[in-house]
Amino acid sequence: MASMESIRSKLDVLAIEEDKWAKKYYHLMLDTNLSNIRMFLEAFAKSRDQFSRDIYNFLNNKYVINNENKTLRKLYDIQATRHLISAENIDPNSLQNILLYISKAETDTYASYEAILSDMEGSSMKKKFSNIVERRKRVMLKADNIYHDMIEARI
């Protein structure tokens, strides 16, 4: 088990990363002219903003909401595969590129949450943080599913 100070430090870094990803999504949203792409980017950016707030609330021992974000309701229930993509290759007007980028980013972020949760083994913080991790997992799965369904629809 990692020390409480180490866990708090990792959570702080994670919240900062959530903020950075939200900004990336918002910037991509400004670069596209297509409303359907803007919708996906906005939904995932708002989700990232909410997770950042949840982590800061968790660190400040405030109550963390245990229900799904309104943002999640905007996302579609689809199945997906995982692919890698770098930010340099993003075409802001390509739905496939944007969904692939979001899917990869959400998967990587979820892995960070899981790593921190495993560091909390035996800690009183684990149960409370596991609620946030579970919601993060659902967002990751939604992103992955949306991308996969779009690919299947084209075949």
- Reported as a pLDDT band with limits 50, 70 and 90, residue 62 is low
pLDDT tens digits along 99-119 = 888 998 999 999 999 999 999
pLDDT(32) > 70: yes
Q: What is the DSSP letter of 66?
A: -
Q: How many CB atoms sit inside 10 A of residue 67's CB? A: 8
- Reported as a pLDDT band with limits 50, 70 and 90, residue 150 is confident
pLDDT tens digits along 47-57 = 999 999 999 88
* Helix (H), strand (E) at residue 65: none
Q: pTM (2 decimals)?
A: 0.73
> All domains of the chain, ordered by start, with CATH?
4-154 (1.20.1260)
104 Cβ neighbours under 8 A, 6+ residues apart = 82, 83, 84, 85
